[in-house]
Amino acid sequence: MPDSGYVLLTGFEPFGGDLLNPSALLAERLHGSEIKGVRIASACLPVDLARLPVEIERLLDGPSPRAIVNLGLAAGRTAVAVERVAVNALDFNIPDNAGQQIRDRPILPDGPAAYLSRLPLRQSVERLRARGIPAYISDTAGLYLCNACMYLVLHTLAQRGWDIPAGFIHVPFILEQTAQQEAPRASLPLDMLTLATGILVETALAETQTQPLRQVLSSTE
């Protein structure tokens, strides 16, 4: 059987005192499944600025995946947020899991100011909404580890000339988490977010098939 490649799907470990991170659960749930005949390979990324680039490098140290979807938790957001842009800046409101609180620093001192998502943003949001899942295009992924992940992945693709769909999705809390919160914040059910992740991967893959020569939407250069 010909190898039809794989989709790299990542989540993040818990951070900021939370016991779980829905993005890691989603990645785990979809690991090994197939979407449009393409296998999903999942990984969990560290909320640790020193380790994050090493881990991304390790994950991309092989043949190019067909698509990359990186997931993270955005506490308090009300819907699935398809991120439009990653900026070359770090400014942490809370320390990372290694206790580092970075202020006002670039991710890569010589890197471009920003990278635009390589996911089909509008189609993704439309397809999620059509399935009854609240979603929107977000214009900021924050200045913490998720933005850094999106930036580093897109930077790596630009450097290697890998013309594949890739980008970042922020998900809200899951219902199960907010039940323990003093003042429960916005959440969506885990099953709905699982469905959303599948739709996002499928949309990314569909776009590659219809537009194999999609222009590189990368830097500010």
> In angstroms, what CA-CA distances link 213 with 100, 203, 207, 208?
41, 16, 10, 8
Name the β-bridge partners of 51.
none
Return the range that interacts with ligand PCA (CB under 6 A); candidates 57-65, 143-151, 184-192, 194-202.
143-151
Residue 44 designated active-site: no
Strand bridging mode 34-35 / 38-45: antiparallel
- Taking the C-alpha atoms of residue 24 and residue 163, their distance in angstroms, rounded to an integer, is 26
Give, as ranges, the residues between 46 and 75 that touch ligand PCA (CB under 6 A). 47, 72-74
In angstroms, give the least distance from the CB of 203 to ligand PCA. 21
- Taking the C-alpha atoms of residue 163 and residue 4, their distance in angstroms, rounded to an integer, is 16
- Residues 161-176 as b/e (b if ≥16 CB within 10 A, e otherwise) read ebbbbbbbbbbbbbbe
> Exactly one of 12, 115, 151, 168 binds ligand PCA (CB under 6 A); which one?
12
Phi and psi, residue 122, nearest 5°: -65, -45
Applying CB under 6 A, the site for ligand PCA has a residue count of 12
In angstroms, give the least distance from the CB of 23 to ligand PCA. 5
- Taking the C-alpha atoms of residue 111 and residue 220, their distance in angstroms, rounded to an integer, is 10
Q: Active site residue: 149, 155, 170, 207, which one?
A: 170
Query: Interface with ligand PCA includes 9 (CB under 6 A)?
Result: no
- Taking the C-alpha atoms of residue 58 and residue 179, their distance in angstroms, rounded to an integer, is 36
Cβ distance to ligand PCA smaller for residue 24 or 38: 24
Residue 57 designated active-site: no
Residue 155 designated active-site: no
In angstroms, give the least distance from the CB of 11 to ligand PCA. 7
Give, as ranges, the residues between 70 and 99 that touch ligand PCA (CB under 6 A). 72-74
List interacting residues with ligand PCA (CB under 6 A). 12, 15, 21, 23, 47, 72-74, 142, 144-146
